[in-house]
Structure 1
Amino acid sequence: MTKTNTVLFTGGTHGNELTGVRLIEHWVSLGAQFTRPGISVKGLMTNPKAVLQRVRFVDEDLNRQFALEQQKSGARDFHEGLIATHLTAQIGPQSAAQPDLIVDIHNTTSHMGATLILLANDRFNQQLARFVFNRMPQCNILLEDEKPFEEHVYLCTLGKRGVMIEMGAQPQGVCRAALFKQSIQLLNHIMDFCALWNTGNVGDLPPCKAYRFVENIKFPLNHQGLVDAMVHPSIQDNDFAPLAPGAPAFIDFAGNAIPLDNTNTVYPHFINEAAYQRSHVAFATATTFEW
């Protein structure tokens, strides 16, 4: 069993997602609560310039710069590329300071509540999911294991293990007190788990309901490449609710409902996420399973 002796909380990976930003800004007063016996916990603001400008990123999305081949490619001459190169050297797999666990803190404009995103289907992640769900049953558990951990593009993959939390709905550039409180609770549950994991005292946890990422769904486009429909009102703000085959997913500007071409029930999430509009992504889909 590999212990989790060093944990790094990261905020500001997206500069306008203020739950993590505020936590790291106030780390001196807030960070001590996450300390557990035998575990070193630190906080890091990953993209201060984007935070200062209150934008998601300056040049390119920092949370899409950490695939293994990107880490090997050397310096990249744009703001977030330079940050990624620096972070990889400082805390990445070849660094002596690589954290055992990175927890990257995010917000979404979608109504996803508290969501814990895990990137590997192994015992640590499974037990973490069960532990968090047992302590915080309103938390959604989302597994993105469509590719190996090290092939993901996310900042948290710089750690030996890495997870993300998504807190929503929260507008960009805003910090909502209720979501901030929930994030503190979720982060403390993660730290409680790490302490129990290290001592072998997690216990026999029952399986939990989880969602497994399938794909990103784009808006319908017309022949000019313009968005030709909106998210249907029946699924708007209903993240992780079932979408049956034939049920409306979009509505065009004339009022006609458009179903998703799915043969099985799926669970949309990141519904109408503001940051994904530039890439025409309307939502992501998932299946559900007992984990």
Structure 2
Amino acid sequence: MSVCFPKLSRVAVCGGTHGNELSGVYLVRELQRCAGDGAHVNTLLCDTFVFPSPSGPISDTAPYEMIRSRELNALLGPKGSPKAVDLICDLHNTTADMGLCLIAYSDHDWICLHIFRHLQRQMPDIPMRYIHFDVSNKESYSLDSVGKHGFAIEIGPQPHGVVRSNIYTAMKFGVQHMLDWVRFFNSGTIFEGGFVDVFTMVKHIDYPRDRETRNITAAIHPQLQDRDFSLLQPEDPLFQTFSGETLRYKGKEPLYPFFINECAYYEKSIALSLARKRRVMIPAIRVDRT
């Protein structure tokens, strides 16, 4: 028995939400240059660093980022309305060694999970994970949340302000396979059910800090650096202080670290995030022909 969904008639591929993450910027420009047929695909450069909640009044003197986010909500949404685009894919880079990740705010959006499984099968040589940010009943502050379905593609490692050919190419193939999946789905292909591993974010860990100055006093331990999604066990090395001392993970359960030493997260007081992994059963799906 398969679950039916409406046709994905309007798809948006977005880059530049964080303006210095360049793979998405150049990929959107390339997609605009080589626009093809198939599903109606909107490609746009977001040109904003934040995406606040679209609700509430806004003044003429509001920051540019807020004004731009309202423009994007009007263009792709409005969020939560029947007029919202069917699927949003928001393109990002990370300085962490995370491979290619799909990040979503749902662990039961069967469209997104099937797309992820399709990418896994089409790109077996690329490390790939599905990250679930569980916001429960809270507002999700992301561009992809404006669509009826949506996710971010996060790929690294790549320094911000730089474009690396291998990272760009992996993102390009990921987007191409995603658009292929949409065409297959819209044409009536039945996608069989199965299992997908989902990493649900549990918590963030900050760097050790000086109590008075709030300056960091340690860096990620060398044995942990560049080991995103390698299981972190209690008492494993976590930080190395600038005086040379090893600080160990004091959690009560093994968890999976990711966004290790992401440079954009220093200002957010996040040294790394930790997730639990579990297997999620996804049903067979097909387009609704009625």
What is the alpha-carbon distance in structure 1 between the residues aligned to residue 133 and residue 162 of structure 2?
31
Residue correspondence of structure 1 range 85-234 to structure 2 within 5 A: 85-93=70-78, 98-122=84-108, 123-137=110-124, 138-148=126-136, 151-224=139-212, 225-234=214-223
SS of match in other structure, 1:214: strand
Query: Shift of the alpha carbon at 1:260?
Result: 2.1
Say whether 1:15 aligns with 2:2: no
SS of match in other structure, 1:279: coil
What is the alpha-carbon distance in structure 1 between the residues aligned to residue 85 and residue 75 of structure 2?
10
Matched residue, 1:54 = none
Query: Shift of the alpha carbon at 1:200?
Result: 4.2
Query: Shift of the alpha carbon at 1:96?
Result: 7.0
Query: Shift of the alpha carbon at 1:7?
Result: 0.6
CA RMSD of aligned residues (A): 2.0
What is the alpha-carbon distance in structure 1 between the residues aligned to residue 171 and residue 277 of structure 2?
23
**Identity within the alignment, %:** 29
So what's the TM-score if we normalise by structure 1? 0.86
Unaligned ranges ≥5, structure 2: 281-290
Query: Shift of the alpha carbon at 1:150?
Result: 7.5
| Deviation by residue 1:110-160 (Cα, 9 ceiling, x = unmatched) | 111111112212222232222222222334223324124872111111111
The counterpart of 2:55, out of the listed 54, 72, 95, is: 72
SS of match in other structure, 2:231: coil
What is the alpha-carbon distance in structure 2 between the residues aligned to residue 157 and residue 220 of structure 1?
33
CA contact (8 A) 1:142 1:210 kept: yes
What is the alpha-carbon distance in structure 1 between the residues aligned to residue 54 and residue 191 of structure 2?
37
Query: Shift of the alpha carbon at 1:205?
Result: 4.7
**Alignment coverage as a number of residue pairs:** 270
CA contact (8 A) 1:116 1:139 kept: no
The counterpart of 1:251, out of the listed 240, 252, 272, is: 240
- Partner AA of 1:166 in structure 2: E
Matched residue, 1:52 = none
- Partner AA of 1:87 in structure 2: L
Q: Which has the higher helix share?
A: 1
So what's the TM-score if we normalise by structure 2? 0.86
- Partner AA of 2:13 in structure 1: F
Query: Shift of the alpha carbon at 1:197?
Result: 2.7
Query: Shift of the alpha carbon at 1:217?
Result: 1.2
